């Protein structure tokens, strides 16, 4: 198996695994956050605007972890530096 094939296999498998495993944590965390927020809304409905705003800010921060994994997966597939190095070396 030459290095080009190896790099191709490693990039694809890694990007798939990154996205799959990397989205488990944020999904569980967001579920807990929303559940807590709903409980607080039921207990104190007149604080709804503060609770909702804080919920959205918290969700966005948790979401960014999943976004980091997505960006890494995209880089591995579409802007892979090792792949470009190899194809430049083979073509040139």
**Among the residues of the chain, which ranges form H helices?**
3-22, 24-43, 48-78, 81-91
Subset of 52-71 contacting other proteins (CB under 8 A): 53, 56-57, 60-61, 63-64, 67-68, 70-71
Complex with other proteins: residue 38 or 67, whichever CB lies closer: 67
Q: Contact between 75 and other proteins (CB under 8 A)?
A: yes
Q: Classify the C-alpha dihedral 55-60-64-70 as positive or negative.
A: positive
Q: Which two tokens stand for residue 58?
A: 């918290």
Residues that bind other proteins (CB under 8 A): 49-50, 53, 56-57, 60-61, 63-64, 67-68, 70-71, 74-75, 78-79
């Amino acid at each position: 198996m030459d290095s080009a094939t190896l790099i191709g296999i490693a990039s694809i498998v890694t990007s798939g695994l990154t996205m799959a495993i990397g989205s488990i944590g944020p999904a569980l965390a967001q579920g807990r956050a929303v559940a807590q927020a709903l409980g607080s809304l039921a207990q104190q409905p007149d604080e709804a605007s503060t609770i909702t705003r804080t919920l959205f800010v918290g969700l966005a921060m948790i979401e960014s972890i999943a976004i980091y994994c997505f960006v890494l997966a995209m880089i591995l597939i579409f802007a892979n530096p090792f792949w470009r190095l190899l194809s430049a070396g083979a073509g040139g």
